Amino acid sequence: MAKSMINEQVHSAAAAGTFTIGGDLTVNRLGYGAMRITGPGIWGPPADKDSAIATLRRAIDLDVNLIDTADSYGPAVSEELIAKALYPYPPALVIATKGGWERPGPGQWTHNASPKHLAEALEGSLKRLRLDRIDVYQLHTPDNAVSFEASMGALARLREQGKIRHVALSNVTREHIERARKIVPIVSVQNRYSFADRESDYIVDYCEANGIAFLPWAPLGQAKEAHDAIQKVAKELGATPLQVALAWLLKRSKVILPIPGTSSVKHLDENLSAAGLELPQAAFDELSALSIPPASLRG
């Protein structure tokens, strides 16, 4: 395929196939990460609000029906923009939000996964997203100052109260997942992962074995350069390296649901083209065999 062809093609997210989260939420496997529709340092409103709204609406036009967000993106900005752009929501749309990790200033994170805070954070997300129930509510990250069982117990109670449909995790080890599953069913796990950032390989395998969705964050390696090999594969396929990175994830496991983040319609279109990009086995194997220090993705 000539280089211009794949980049000019805009695929539907449906071309990536589907996965059913928690046994009842069927989504197209290529989703959208809504962390980038905020200001610099994931703080405050985006520089171009109209573009952020257009990007969200374009995602729906391209059949994206899994959107990842968090109360702390902005904070509040990402969830508010999602509601502003998309409410009333299309029936099949799954919004996965998170709580337990606060954003007190640009580029800063503070842990807060106490039961009291999680209950308050959930109420805030319900209000901003204009929902009675969150389809997928993710503990953003375990809080070392709070018993992990206490955080999960709080989410289990909120689920019993009907405010959460499914409970999920982010930034966790296998031990966390196993401990959480003793308290409440876990439907998805979100850790940093890409072809060049494989610390969570064993978590992907665990999720696959247990029918749990795996949402890789930074699936594009946050657009940093990773390795010459991906340039080579991209050239051979007439695609961009970022499209190849997404195609690698889609091929890596059927439980992987990439959520590439962008604030632009142009980049969204490019990323969605990867839904229909089939990575040849040899290229997949070549990229899978690479050993790249994760630091290359963290800058």
Ligand X SMILES: NC(=O)c1ccc[n+]([C@@H]2O[C@H](COP(=O)([O-])OP(=O)(O)OC[C@H]3O[C@@H](n4cnc5c(N)ncnc54)[C@H](OP(=O)(O)O)[C@@H]3O)[C@@H](O)[C@H]2O)c1
Tokens standing for 82? Answer: 């999602």
193 assigned to active site:
no
Q: Of these residues, 32, 73, 137, 206, which one is catalytic?
A: 73
CB 28 within 8 A of CB 66: yes
Per DSSP, 34 falls in state T
112 contacts ligand X (rule: CB under 6 A): no
Number of chain residues interacting with ligand X (CB under 6 A)? 25
221 contacts ligand X (rule: CB under 6 A): yes
217 contacts ligand X (rule: CB under 6 A): yes
- Report in angstroms how near the CB of residue 261 gets to ligand X at its nearest: 2
Q: Are strands 110-111 and 134-139 parallel, antiparallel or unpaired?
A: unpaired
Looking only at Cα atoms, what is the longest distance across the chain? 55
C-alpha separations of 256 from 42, 56, 79, 283 in Å: 25, 21, 23, 18
For 45, phi then psi, to 5°, come to -75, 160
Answer for which of 260, 276, 284, 287 binds ligand X (CB under 6 A) is 260
User: Distance between CA 172 and CA 191 in Å, rounded?
Assistant: 7
Answer for which of 126, 212, 242, 274 binds ligand X (CB under 6 A) is 242
Tokens standing for 269? Answer: 């279109």
Amino acid, res. 153: G
Where in 182-201 is the site for ligand X (CB under 6 A)? 190
Region of 181-189, 195-203, 206-214, 254-262 interacting with ligand X (CB under 6 A): 254-262
Question: Which of 34, 164 has the CB closer to ligand X?
Answer: 34
Q: Counting every residue, how long is the chain?
A: 299
Query: Would you give the end-to-end CA distance of the chain in angstroms?
Result: 32
- Report in angstroms how near the CB of residue 68 gets to ligand X at its nearest: 4
Question: Which of 226, 282 has the CB closer to ligand X?
Answer: 226
Question: Which of 112, 271 has the CB closer to ligand X?
Answer: 271
User: Distance between CA 133 and CA 130 in Å, rounded?
Assistant: 9
267 contacts ligand X (rule: CB under 6 A): yes
Q: Give the residue numbers marked as catalytic.
A: 73
Interface residues with ligand X (CB under 6 A)?
33-36, 68, 170-171, 190, 217-223, 242, 259-264, 267, 270-271
